[in-house]
Amino acid sequence: MNTPDPTSPPRSTLSRITGAITLGYSDSPGGRLLLRRAASRAVRLGLHLRSRRFSPEGLGSVLVLAPHPDDEALGCGGTLALFVQAGARVHVAYLTDGGASHPSHPVFSNREIRDLRREEARVGAGALGIDRSHLSFLGLEDGRLASLNTEETRQAVAAISRVIASVAPDAVLLPCRRDGSSEHDAAFGLVTQSLGLARRRPRLLEFPVWSWWNPVLLIRPLLNSRRVWRTDTRAASELKARAVGSYGSQVLPLAPETSAVLPPGFVAMFSGSEEYLFEC
């Protein structure tokens, strides 16, 4: 996973109102994190009330299309482990190489980061019970999904459609179409085109990643999705923790850096006992 676009937009009216209501507390890093957690808990309650329990019965084959290595572990790792335990054939295709997560690292080059993240993905998938032969690395350049030209888009769509045709999934899982990341949003568009090219109509199930960091983004799928599904992932919590932990380059500082690339408190938002899927 890559962090959202680094450019900082002008402060929104909502953030100014929030700052006034909280007497500026929301302007501190600790205050913002507490507000994110509070908003996340409120949205989770709404999701729980609206959702139905998801059963993997009838899913012979599942394909996860992850924009970056680690999106699958964070967003739906517990669900994937349960799918495997239920006998489903789970495949994961990583769209980008993940090489842009540390653009200015003093030791590791983009190529070395790419190789590291690929191995982390293999270890993480193994923790969830996914066979390594069911992993595909499409190798699209990290950080450029939202700015592909016409020919690059055509090639990306063709590559994704080949994976879909090969796996022939009963369900496709991918991050939400408006997930708070330009890369995730672009990935949804590429996948939509690819499904048309592959001429398949599997169930399309969206899972939140960056929208947990900005829970306001979950209001739309909460209200507009035809179905909101939940999986009780308590039985797979240890497996998911191991899968997330395998991405050391993302969740831990990559020496000599002293801070992880993911913001403080981000990973903790994925440690709940339920995961949610949106079906439009």
| Domain-embedded: residue 111 | yes
What phi and psi values does residue 258 have, to the nearest 5 degrees?
-110, 0
Residue range(s) defining the domain that contains residue 116: 14-279
Mean pLDDT for all residues in the chain: 91
Separation between Cα atoms, residue 163 and residue 171, nearest integer Å: 13
| Domain-embedded: residue 168 | yes
Residues with Cβ within 8 Å of residue 89, at least 6 apart in sequence: 60, 61, 62, 134
| Domain-embedded: residue 194 | yes
Task: State residue 37's pLDDT score.
Answer: 92
The owner of tokens 């964070």 is 74
As a three-state string, the secondary structure of the chain is CCCCCCCCCCCCHHHHHHHHHCCCHHHCHHHHHHHHHHHHHHHHHHHHHHCEECCCCCCCEEEEEECCCCHHHHHHHHHHHHHHHCCCEEEEEEEECCCCCCCCCCCCCHHHHHHHHHHHHHHHHHHCCCCHHHEEEEEECCCCHHHCCHHHHHHHHHHHHHHHHHHCCCEEEEECCCCCCHHHHHHHHHHHHHHHHHCCCCEEEEECCHHHCCHHHHHHHHHHCCEEEEEECHHHHHHHHHHHHCCHHHHCCCCCCCCCCCCCCCHHHHCCCEEEEEEC
One-letter amino acid for residue 154 of the chain:
R
Separation between Cα atoms, residue 79 and residue 276, nearest integer Å: 9
Split into its structural domains, the chain has a count of 1
pLDDT tens-place string over residues 79-118: 999 999 999 999 999 999 999 999 999 999 999 999 999 9
CATH number at 257 reads 3.40.50.10320
165 versus 19: the higher-pLDDT residue is 165
Task: State residue 57's pLDDT score.
Answer: 85
Q: What band does 5 get if pLDDT is binned at 50, 70 and 90?
A: very low
Task: State residue 4's pLDDT score.
Answer: 55
| Domain-embedded: residue 2 | no
Strand partners, 66: 94
Task: State residue 71's pLDDT score.
Answer: 98
| Domain-embedded: residue 4 | no
Contact (CB, 8 A) for 233 and 82: yes
The owner of tokens 């929104």 is 12
pLDDT tens-place string over residues 202-233: 999 999 999 999 999 999 999 999 999 999 99
Crossing angle of the two packed helices 71-85 and 110-127, in degrees rounded to 10:
30
| Domain-embedded: residue 253 | yes
| Nearest to 213, CA basis, from 246, 182, 179, 252 | 179
Strand partners, 277: 229
Tokens representing 258?
């002293």
Task: State residue 20's pLDDT score.
Answer: 41
Separation between Cα atoms, residue 84 and residue 198, nearest integer Å: 25
| Domain-embedded: residue 9 | no
Q: What band does 58 get if pLDDT is binned at 50, 70 and 90?
A: confident
pTM attached to this predicted model: 0.90
Separation between Cα atoms, residue 58 and residue 230, nearest integer Å: 17
| Domain-embedded: residue 152 | yes
pLDDT tens-place string over residues 149-170: 999 999 999 999 999 999 999 9
